[in-house]
């Protein structure tokens, strides 16, 4: 069994903590591990095979770094464009069969355990038991899914209608879109009335977690969506290894239809399932899962699973050091801080998220509409939806601590740059800006035109416009420096990389 971790989402519903360049799956929402790292550990707890990760091109170094922090490895396939879950799983299936054949291909084709990178599962033992229960049926050729046992008539999830229980597994009749409140309640009532002694009907939330043999998945994809199969086959026929990453053929993948596994594979199979229920040989089966699951699909969902004080308040912290809050006469609220002191007085049922460059204050009942705020930021030409003030790079990170006003025609920007020991910035040049570097701690090995020299603590150097330059932290401690940029244009796309350790040239 090979875990497949789908890590390509943008996580806009957890804005402003989640941004396009740093989405929620790479954030920690409880404990020290990120959601992605927790998914990796879930995969490793069930299989000795290293996982296959499907990731966005822009998140590749986040994936590699968070795997490195765990001491884990994976086959990391980069999607040049997003095409939903069905094509992503197809890429993983082709890669799994390639690795299996390289190892001799003597046993049956591997089973894919398809996991999302942004889920919380509190009861790992129950999760492992459900996967183990599904595995024999999937090895025999069936398609399996994990259905979440509902705790309420939720309208934020799709539902699975199942029947004809055998040995703890149910035959899936239908995948249903997110219902309204009355329909969701009817599903729960129907499931309760027809369970136990009165029958075996089951309604579950659709978790988005599936199990299927790699060869079976590709067979069904070729049958139900031949254009998607052909595009993914072409994309995986022309791959290149780039450091830790597998790059696929971009032109071929751009021609791939955009569709989810639910519509591309599961719904057509369930249509056949409904005719096979009487024969007791359904093609799609579900194992109900009661394991403290959440897809962390909103701030209110995160409040539900977070640890709370006696007043129902949950405090999260995304910065360094301790969270600083003073909560007076405050109840049933979630407060996420980035380091500044956050205080509340006389409020209930609020979501307050403070980051270095954006503040969200929302009622818990309104958090599903956060996407509209993100859309408005885009329309107004803002960048707060795209990246944080603090941006991570493979060599370290930078914090854009100040910038001049465009309206006031002030052309400067100030960054605090942190470079890891042994790491290098690319050899590069800028067409529109000059840079002044001041070292706060550590030692910088600087290339400036045809000169190379060291810049140590409390020393500085100047890079003129158009000058080829580079920087390396050759020491054993973090290099901290201030960069002051000035010029007619200060955008990140004014970087001409001539040589790069991380494949970005």
CATH number of residue 479's parent domain: 2.60.120.10
Q: Indicate yes or no: pTM above 0.85.
A: yes
Q: Phi, psi (5° rounding) for residue 212?
A: -160, 145
325 and 435 inside one domain: no
* pLDDT at residue 197 in the model: 43
Q: What domain range includes position 206? A: 2-294
42 and 131 within one domain: yes
**Do residues 402 and 453 share a domain?**
yes
Residue 385 lies in a domain: no
Same domain, 211 and 138: yes
In a domain, 172, yes or no: yes
CB 431 within 8 A of CB 496: yes
The Cβ of residue 472 has, within 10 Å, a number of other Cβ atoms equal to 20
Q: How far apart are CA 445 and CA 334, in angstroms?
A: 45
Q: CATH number of the domain at 54, please.
A: 3.90.550.10
Q: Is 31 left (phi over 0), alpha (psi -120 to 50) or beta?
A: left
Q: What is the pLDDT of residues 373-389, one digit of tens each?
A: 999 999 998 889 988 88
Cis ω for the linkage preceding 16 (within 30 of 0): yes
The set of residues, in sequence order, having a beta carbon less than 8 Å from that of 423 and lying 6+ positions away, is: 394, 395, 396, 472, 473, 501
Asked if 62 and 22 touch (Cβ cutoff 8 Å), the reply is yes
Token pair 């398609």 is found at 143
User: In angstroms, rounded to a whole number, what is the distance separating the alpha carbons of residues 146 and 285?
Assistant: 9
Number of structural domains found in the chain: 3
pLDDT at res. 427: 94
Containing H/E element for 447?
A: strand 444-448
Q: Which residue has the tokens 């050729």?
A: 141
- The answer to whether residue 380 sits within a structural domain is no
Residue 15's pLDDT is what? 94
Which of 373, 405, 429 corresponds to the end of one domain? 373
Domain co-membership, 425 together with 363: no
Q: Tell whether 382 is covered by a domain.
A: no
Last residue of a domain, one of 294, 325, 347: 294
One domain, residues 421 and 488: yes
Is 379 contained in some domain?
no
Domain boundary among 338, 373, 408: 373
Contact 128, 134 (CB under 8 A): no
pLDDT of residue 441: 96
Report yes or no on 226 lying in a domain. Answer: yes
Residue 22: inside a domain = yes
Distance CA 248, CA 252 (A): 9
Strand pairing of 52-56 and 2-7? parallel
Burial 61-81 (b: 16+ CB within 10 A, else e): bbbbebbeeeeeebbbbbbbe
pLDDT of residue 275: 56
Res 165: pLDDT: 76
Same domain, 452 and 362: no
Same domain as 319, residue 268: no
Check whether residue 401 and residue 429 sit in a common domain.
Answer: yes
Question: Can you give the pLDDT at residue 198?
Answer: 40
Indicate if 238 and 167 belong to the same structural domain.
yes
Q: How far is CA 287 from CA 163, 172, 469, 494, 496, in A?
A: 11, 10, 58, 52, 52
Q: Report yes or no on 505 lying in a domain.
A: no
pLDDT mean for each 10 residues of the chain (505 residues)? 92 90 88 91 92 93 91 94 95 95 83 95 94 94 93 88 83 88 87 50 90 96 96 95 91 95 90 59 88 91 92 86 87 92 96 94 94 94 88 90 75 94 94 96 96 95 96 94 93 89 74
pLDDT at residue 194, as a whole number? 43
Closest CA to 149 of 130, 171, 128, 166: 130
- Identify whether residues 259 and 317 lie together within a single domain: no
Same domain membership, residue 307 and residue 288: no
pLDDT of residue 432: 95
- What pLDDT is stored for residue 196 in this prediction? 46
């Amino acid at each position: 069994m090979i875990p497949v971790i789908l890590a390509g989402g943008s996580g806009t519903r957890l804005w402003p903590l989640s941004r396009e360049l740093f989405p929620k799956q790479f954030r920690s929402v409880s404990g020290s591990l990120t959601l992605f790292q927790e998914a990796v550990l879930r995969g490793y707890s069930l299989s000795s095979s290293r996982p296959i990760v499907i990731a966005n091109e822009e998140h590749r170094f986040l994936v590699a770094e968070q795997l490195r922090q765990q001491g884990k490895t994976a086959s990391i396939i980069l999607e040049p464009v997003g095409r939903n879950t069905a094509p992503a799983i197809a890429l993983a299936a082709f890669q799994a069969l390639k690795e299996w054949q390289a190892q001799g291909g003597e046993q049956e084709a591997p089973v894919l355990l398809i996991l999302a990178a942004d889920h919380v599962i509190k009861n790992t033992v129950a999760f492992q038991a459900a996967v183990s229960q599904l595995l024999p049926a999937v090895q025999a050729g069936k398609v399996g899914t994990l259905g979440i046992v509902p705790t309420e008539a939720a309208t934020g999830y799709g539902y699975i209608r199942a029947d004809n229980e055998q040995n703890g597994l149910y035959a899936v009749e239908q995948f249903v879109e997110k219902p309204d409140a009355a329909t969701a309640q009817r599903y729960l009532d129907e499931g309760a009335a027809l369970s136990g002694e009165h029958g075996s009907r089951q309604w579950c939330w659709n978790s988005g977690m599936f199990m299927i043999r790699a060869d079976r998945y590709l067979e069904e994809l070729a049958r139900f969506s031949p254009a998607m199969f052909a595009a993914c086959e072409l994309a995986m026929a022309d791959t290149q290894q780039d450091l830790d990453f597998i790059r696929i053929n971009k032109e071929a993948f751009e021609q791939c239809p955009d569709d989810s596994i639910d519509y591309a594979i599961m719904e057509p199979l369930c249509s056949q399932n409904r005719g096979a229920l009487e024969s007791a040989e359904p093609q799609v089966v579900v194992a109900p899962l009661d394991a403290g699951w959440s897809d962390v699909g909103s701030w209110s969902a995160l409040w539900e699973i977070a640890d709370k004080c006696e007043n129902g308040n949950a405090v999260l912290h995304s910065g360094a050091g301790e969270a600083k809050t003073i909560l007076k006469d405050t109840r049933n609220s979630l407060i996420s801080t980035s380091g500044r002191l956050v205080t509340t007085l006389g409020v209930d049922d609020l979501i307050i998220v403070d980051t270095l460059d954006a503040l969200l204050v929302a009622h818990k009942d309104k958090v599903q509409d956060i996407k509209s705020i993100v859309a408005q930021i885009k329309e107004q030409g803002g960048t707060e939806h795209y990246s944080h003030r603090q941006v991570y790079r493979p060599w370290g990170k930078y914090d854009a601590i100040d910038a001049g006003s465009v309206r006031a025609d002030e052309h400067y920007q100030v960054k605090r740059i942190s470079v890891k020991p042994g790491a290098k910035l690319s050899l590069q040049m800028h067409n529109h800006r000059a840079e002044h570097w001041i070292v706060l701690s550590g030692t910088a090995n600087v290339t400036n035109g045809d000169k190379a020299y060291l810049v140590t603590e409390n020393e500085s150097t100047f890079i003129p416009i158009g000058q080829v330059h580079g920087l390396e932290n050759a020491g054993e401690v973090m290099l901290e420096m201030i960069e002051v940029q000035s010029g007619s244009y200060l955008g990140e796309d004014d970087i001409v990389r001539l040589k790069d350790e991380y494949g970005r040239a």
